[in-house]
Chain A
Amino acid sequence: MVLAQTSLQPSEAAGGAPDALPRPIVQADKLSLVYQATDKPVVALSEVSLIIREGDFVSLIGPSGCGKTTLLRVIADLERPTGGAITVAGTTPEKARLDRLYGYVFQAPALYPWRSIERNVMLPLEIMGLPKAERQARARAQLELVGLAGFEKKFPWQLSGGMQQRTSIARALALQPELLLMDEPFGALDEITRDHLNLHLTQLWRRMGKTCVFVTHSISEAVFLSTRIVVMSPRPGRILDVIDCDLPRERTLDLRETPEFAAIAHRVREGLKEGHSYDD
């Protein structure tokens, strides 16, 4: 916990005066979440403090059970913390959810099989009550953005896994959210598709300048995509380290072969190792 605090301070201080920094989108302060399991309580999050600023691409990385998904779900108000405080876009997570300020991409595409691709992307807009013409226009624009123009009338099962996950990203973007939350969105895909989608995602992020929080357990994925990497550790779920990832914003797959990339990846790996020696 001490680690997390100290590593937070410099990253804030490095930017100079506080008012020069972009505004914080997510502010977590000593966040805790304890599940009451049948035999003993499980500490999913323990005093997690973190600030995510506008335009950041923050990856949460760690072994399974480290609470990275839980943290994301707390931000999304899919889970309520049992202690600490959190604001999302300057308000409570619940208010942010009700105002539809974030888009969420799950591990699985979670597309509705009875809806066509286009109508899947239009689903959140339907719930928001947008008029039909605008729904359609937005859905088309988003599908084009993720490179799925021409697939509007197809049904989910007619698409490959990678295309399905791209659809679910388009669905999250269709809300025009301030914040994009992604929970291991490419975890179930093969590595080639994954590389392809990573490239796609980083280009998308650069073009739109949206704040992203990205949960992953792949080191190279985290380094490739992020501006900051939050290293977490299980039992109890806590932040071990926050690593700035100051690679150029323009990123190609070749970047992964550079020494700078390797150096950051090494730091992440060291951080993860530290977490392991902790609980053995």
Chain B
Amino acid sequence: MSGPVLAQAAGGKAAPARPVRRPSPAGMLPVVAGLAALALFLPIGQRGAEGAAVTWLGHPMALLFLLGAALCVGTGRSAVTPMRSAVMELAAVLLAWALPFHLLGEGFDLGRAWGMWLFLVAATVLLWRVLAVFSAVPGALRSAVVPGLFGLGLLAGWEVVVRGFSVPFILLPAPSAILATTAAQAPVLWADFYQTVVKSVLRGYLIGCGAGFAVAILADRVPFLARGLLPLGNVASAIPIVGIAPIMVMWFGFDWQSKAAVIVVMTFFPMLINTLAGLAASERIQIDLMRSYAAGYWRTLALLRLPNALPFLYNGLKINSTLALIGAIVAEFFGTPVVGMGFRISTEVARMNLDIVWATIVVAALTGSLFYGGLALLERATTAWHPSMRRR
């Protein structure tokens, strides 16, 4: 559904940017310093929910964190290159973000620790500055380290806010708690994964994509069929096909067959449309060349049209990887043996056992990302020649 756009973005095909240059992030340092200075006058937590507020001066360890961070930034100022000072500042950020974990470990309540929160805001602004320096450098630093640090920052923020403000577990558990449940419930999660992914998703995906591909080849040979199917395929992409799940459960029973059937129907049309588009992607001149060699239909297909169609085929496969997972889980809401990710989510939500639900979501997210990522890697390996892949 979000497919075409999704694949474009993932393929990194965005137009060569002429980003509007912002003023350099140098102006951020005074902000960081100001925030940190202001934080000095505010409390950094209470010992227990009812305890008295503790200030920086009342907690030598916290002061040590603060001084360490300040020292890092100070050293960074005198570094020779912006890159080196950014690395020093990154150390300061890590040190600053370690403080709340240290305080939480000591049993502090951070609900009204405004000094600590302000300090964290200052550290976040500093992180921004670091990321700005890093993303000016092409290569792994930009494509892996910057998003990695960003994601790590989000996770740390989530953890600290949930634990610091004691957010009710039922609303949002901390990442560490979700991770703990994931580890503790591994056998159950594995059984669900096996039922949903290995049994339903993989089979349905292979059958659906295979059928879409085969029918596309057939429609390519019989243009009449293509002209009849293409409008249907376009309509199918607009309608909520997942809705057929209850019908499939009625027809094929509770086990994986009904889920695979839903997936087959969901993945068929995207694959059909993408394959047809891919087969049409060869240029007239390339076809003429094959004709001048007296190459037949299948020869031309294998040597020219399928290689040319590969980017489109991967697009279809990638769209379908997400669709297949969705189809299987949603179909399980309508009936399933007592195992499966969709079953787990729907029953445990009703029982308010949200930790295992979150753990299942983690598994689903990981599965989805790995499925998609695997296809993206395969695409890069096999279509390295394509202009969209060459830029990096």
Interface residues of A (CB under 8 A from B): 73, 76-78, 97-100, 102-104, 106-108, 110, 112-115, 123-124, 126-128, 155, 157, 175
Q: Could you tell me the distance in whole angstroms from the C-beta of B298 to the nearest C-beta in chain A?
A: 12
Contact of B294 among A73, A98, A110 (CB under 8 A): A98
**Quick one: given A114-B385, A124-B293, are A78 and B307 in contact (CB under 8 Å)?**
no
The answer to whether B285 and A108 have CB atoms under 8 Å apart is yes
Interface residues on B, range: 20 to 34
In the complex, what residue of chain B is closest to A158 when comparing beta carbons? B390
The answer to whether A155 and B385 have CB atoms under 8 Å apart is yes
Q: Which of B350-383 contact A (CB under 8 A)?
A: 383
The answer to whether B294 and A97 have CB atoms under 8 Å apart is yes
Give CA–CA (A207, B387) in the complex, Å. 37
The answer to whether A114 and B307 have CB atoms under 8 Å apart is yes
Contact of B292 among A76, A108, A115, A157 (CB under 8 A): A76
User: Which of A99, A102, A113, A157: most chain B Cβ within 10 A?
Assistant: A113
The answer to whether B292 and A78 have CB atoms under 8 Å apart is yes
Sort A-B residue pairs by CB-CB distance and give the 7 closest, nearest first: A114-B385, A113-B385, A104-B292, A98-B294, A110-B285, A127-B293, A124-B293
The answer to whether A110 and B293 have CB atoms under 8 Å apart is no
In the complex, what residue of chain A is closest to B292 when comparing beta carbons? A104
Q: Which of B265-317 contact A (CB under 8 A)?
A: 283, 285-286, 288-295, 299, 303-304, 307
Q: Could you tell me the distance in whole angstroms from the C-beta of B37 to the nearest C-beta in chain A?
A: 55
The answer to whether B292 and A102 have CB atoms under 8 Å apart is yes
What are 11 A-B interface contacts by the 8 Å CB criterion?
A78-B291, A78-B292, A97-B292, A102-B292, A104-B288, A104-B292, A113-B387, A114-B307, A123-B293, A157-B390, A175-B293
Contacts of A102 in B (CB 8 A): 292
Whether B386 is near chain A, meaning CB under 8 Å from some CB there, is: yes
Give CA–CA (A73, B291) in the complex, Å. 11
Contact of A123 among B294, B303, B386 (CB under 8 A): B303
Instruction: Name A's interface SS.
Output: loop
The answer to whether B304 and A112 have CB atoms under 8 Å apart is yes
Q: Could you tell me the distance in whole angstroms from the C-beta of B266 to the nearest C-beta in chain A?
A: 30
Give CA–CA (A114, B303) in the complex, Å. 10
The answer to whether B295 and A110 have CB atoms under 8 Å apart is no
- Given known contacts A107-B285, A110-B289, A114-B385, what 19 new A-B pairs fall within 8 Å (CB)? A73-B288, A76-B292, A77-B291, A100-B294, A102-B292, A104-B289, A106-B289, A110-B285, A110-B286, A113-B387, A114-B386, A115-B385, A124-B293, A126-B303, A127-B290, A127-B299, A155-B385, A157-B385, A175-B293
Contacts of B293 in A (CB 8 A): 100, 123-124, 127-128, 175
Contact of A78 among B286, B288, B386 (CB under 8 A): B288
Contacts of B285 in A (CB 8 A): 106-108, 110
Give CA–CA (A75, B84) in the complex, Å. 68
Contacts of B304 in A (CB 8 A): 112
Instruction: Name B's interface SS.
Output: helix
Give CA–CA (A155, B389) in the complex, Å. 14
Contacts of B292 in A (CB 8 A): 76, 78, 97, 102-104
Q: Could you tell me the distance in whole angstroms from the C-beta of B191 to the nearest C-beta in chain A?
A: 43
In the complex, what residue of chain B is closest to A97 when comparing beta carbons? B294
Q: Could you tell me the distance in whole angstroms from the C-beta of B293 to the nearest C-beta in chain A?
A: 5
Contacts of B289 in A (CB 8 A): 104, 106, 110
Contact of A127 among B288, B303, B386, B387 (CB under 8 A): B303
Contacts of A104 in B (CB 8 A): 288-289, 292
Give CA–CA (A20, B293) in the complex, Å. 33
Q: Could you tell me the distance in whole angstroms from the C-beta of A169 to the nearest C-beta in chain B?
A: 13
Q: Could you tell me the distance in whole angstroms from the C-beta of A179 to the nearest C-beta in chain B?
A: 11
In the complex, what residue of chain A is closest to B289 when comparing beta carbons? A110
Q: Could you tell me the distance in whole angstroms from the C-beta of A98 to the nearest C-beta in chain B?
A: 5
Give CA–CA (A124, B385) in the complex, Å. 20
Contacts of A107 in B (CB 8 A): 285
The answer to whether B295 and A127 have CB atoms under 8 Å apart is yes
User: Which of A77, A98, A110, A175: most chain B Cβ within 10 A?
Assistant: A110
The answer to whether B288 and A114 have CB atoms under 8 Å apart is no
Contacts of A99 in B (CB 8 A): 294
Contacts of A115 in B (CB 8 A): 385
Give CA–CA (A77, B293) in the complex, Å. 11
The answer to whether A106 and B288 have CB atoms under 8 Å apart is yes
- CB-CB contacts of B8-51 with A at 8 A, as 1s and 0s? 00000000000000000000000000000000000000000000
Give CA–CA (A127, B285) in the complex, Å. 17
The answer to whether A112 and B288 have CB atoms under 8 Å apart is no
Give CA–CA (A136, B2) in the complex, Å. 45
- CB-CB contacts of B94-137 with A at 8 A, as 1s and 0s? 00000000000000000000000000000000000000000000
Q: Could you tell me the distance in whole angstroms from the C-beta of B109 to the nearest C-beta in chain A?
A: 61
Contacts of B286 in A (CB 8 A): 110, 112
Give CA–CA (A104, B289) in the complex, Å. 7
Give CA–CA (A113, B388) in the complex, Å. 12
Give CA–CA (A162, B283) in the complex, Å. 20
Q: Could you tell me the distance in whole angstroms from the C-beta of B302 to the nearest C-beta in chain A?
A: 10
Give CA–CA (A155, B385) in the complex, Å. 8
Contacts of A123 in B (CB 8 A): 293, 303
Q: Could you tell me the distance in whole angstroms from the C-beta of B388 to the nearest C-beta in chain A?
A: 11
